[in-house]
Structure 1
């Protein structure tokens, strides 16, 4: 089972960094994990977010966020669209179902014709 991370939304913020006080280095990224196997794939319901400063090269954790950063975060979280949470099956799943039904029909036909 493999996992893939999809970037849903990226925003460059003009707020001050709480660490280095720069106004042009903050980047807010929203990501979502997707699990995939041979039969299907399904997006995870949890959305991960990270705030990174490109000037001081630090991850800014929510404990250090200012009220301005919090407001911009809430706005961008509404913009970030999640992938629909549904199970999408692959062609291998359909092949196995059809072959299973065919085997059951053949066994049933063989039992009925032997009577």
Structure 2
């Protein structure tokens, strides 16, 4: 089962980086969990937030956020609308469902025919 996060939205922030103090390098990224198996594809409601600085190439963890960064993060978090959680069944799954239903119908027809 392959689980990974797909990038939904990236926002450039005008706050100072807590590492290099650059004003134009902070980027906030919103990612949503995507699961793919042999039978289905699914987008879950699990959201992951990442912040990094493109100037010093450093991930910025929440313990290093200033009050200004926290305030901007909360604003963007409220404005963010994730993709709706959904599941898509693959052809293999549909073939398995159809074959199980077909076998059940055949068994039921055989039982009914043998009772007549």
User: What TM bracket, shorter-length normalisation?
Assistant: 0.7 to 0.9
Q: How far apart in 2 are the matches of 1:15 and 1:64? A: 13
Q: TM-score, normalised by structure 2?
A: 0.87
| Residue 17 of structure 1: aligned partner | 17
RMSD (Å) for aligned C-alpha atoms: 1.6
Contact 2:10–2:30 under 8 Å retained in 1: yes
| Residue 66 of structure 2: aligned partner | 66
Q: How far apart in 1 are the matches of 2:101 and 2:50? A: 48
* Equivalent residue runs for 1:6-85 within 5 Å: 6-85=6-85
Residue by residue over 1:56-80, the C-alpha shift from the partner in whole angstroms, topping out at 9 and shown as x without a partner, is 2211111111111111111211232
| Residue 109 of structure 1: aligned partner | 109
Q: TM-score, normalised by structure 1?
A: 0.88
The offset of 1:102, in angstroms, is 0.9
Corresponding residue pairs, total: 115
The offset of 1:113, in angstroms, is 2.2
